[in-house]
Amino acid sequence: MTGPDDFPDLTILRPACPDLFGLRVLLADVSTVSPDFIQRALAAVPAHRRQKALQLRFDSDRRLSLAAALLFRQLLEELGLPEPTQPPETGPRGKPFYSSLPRLHYNLSHSGSIAMCALARVPLGCDIQEHRALRQDLADRFFSHAEAAALRSAKTDRVSLQYRIWALKESYIKATGEGLYRSLDSFSILTDRPTVILEEDPEGFLFLEPAAPKNYACAVCLNKRTGDR
């Protein structure tokens, strides 16, 4: 799927998602964009998104930031909602939200050449991680004991498991708004079962893993306690 009419060079992917809590997810691959993408995107996004992109040092990061902003715009258009022109407000721990969209929650992520945007009627977090080298040392430092042990004992595809766990964990702390305020090793995501769960609260959060491009891990976490399906 190509991008919006004014960005046909932006490859957009729409992974299948269950019809729960109004969830919508889009991914964008910026590896396909033309050299003038940044300038065109800067002219298309609101001023606060433009400023954020311009503060980034590298063009690769600017492309991803702008692509995520365009995905947000695309999903709002599909819902018939206007794109906010003012910067988002932030919660007590920095989680952004728009008071002009009181019944809508959003989250953005990017890694490698892929940008991601997710919307829902409940607080959510999303994360995408490009597969890189296996780093058991980082898992031992940042994962819970159970997660690090699961990675160490995995018989096959340890790289995929490492980044799968990482994306799930990031999606959770982004959904709760805890972000940097909570240590990643203080909770466990259990992946060795048919349904991924948070060990400390199995019923409170729904974890989904939308299809991602090859060599990427993708995750969405929804707070089930805060809204109706």
Q: Where are the beta strands (DSSP E) in the chain?
A: 11-13, 24-29, 89-90, 96-97, 105-111, 114-120, 124-130, 189-190, 197-198, 205-208, 216-223
Q: Is the pLDDT of residue 2 over 60?
A: no
Average of per-residue pLDDT across 188-197: 92
Q: What single-letter DSSP state applies at residue 226?
A: G
**What confidence category does residue 156 fall into, taking pLDDT thresholds of 50, 70 and 90?**
confident
Q: Is the pLDDT of residue 190 over 90?
A: yes
Per-residue pLDDT at 92: 84
In-domain check, residue 102:
yes
> Tell me, what CATH number does 74's domain have?
3.90.470.20
Average of per-residue pLDDT across 176-182: 86
CA 88 to CA 175: how far, in whole Å? 16
Under a CB-based contact definition with an 8 Å cutoff, are residues 129 and 163 in contact? yes
Q: Is the pLDDT of residue 193 over 60?
A: yes
CA 196 to CA 96: how far, in whole Å? 26
Boundary residue ending a domain (68, 93, 122): 122
Under a CB-based contact definition with an 8 Å cutoff, are residues 216 and 131 in contact? yes
pLDDT tens digits, one per residue of 26-45: 999 999 999 999 999 999 99
Does residue 202 share a domain with residue 147? yes
Per-residue pLDDT at 1: 55
Q: Which domain holds residue 42?
A: 11-122
Per-residue pLDDT at 176: 93
Does residue 154 share a domain with residue 117? no
Does residue 141 share a domain with residue 91? no
CA 87 to CA 130: how far, in whole Å? 28
92, two tokens:
């007590």
In-domain check, residue 6:
no
Residue 21's region, left for phi above 0, alpha for psi from -120 to 50, else beta, is: left
Per-residue pLDDT at 214: 96
Number of structural domains (the chain) is 2
Which residues touch 142 (CB under 8 Å, ≥6 apart)? 184, 185
3-state secondary structure of 157: coil
Average of per-residue pLDDT across 141-169: 94
Does residue 43 share a domain with residue 94? yes
- Percent over 70 (pLDDT), the chain: 97
Does residue 112 share a domain with residue 20? yes
In-domain check, residue 35:
yes
pLDDT tens digits, one per residue of 91-125: 888 889 999 998 899 999 999 999 999 999 999 99
> Is the model's pTM score more than 0.85?
yes
Does residue 218 share a domain with residue 135? yes
Per-residue pLDDT at 170: 96
Does residue 132 share a domain with residue 31? no
Number of residues in the chain = 229
**What confidence category does residue 51 fall into, taking pLDDT thresholds of 50, 70 and 90?**
very high
Does residue 138 share a domain with residue 118? no
Per-residue pLDDT at 227: 59
**What confidence category does residue 144 fall into, taking pLDDT thresholds of 50, 70 and 90?**
very high
Place of tokens 């993708």: 218
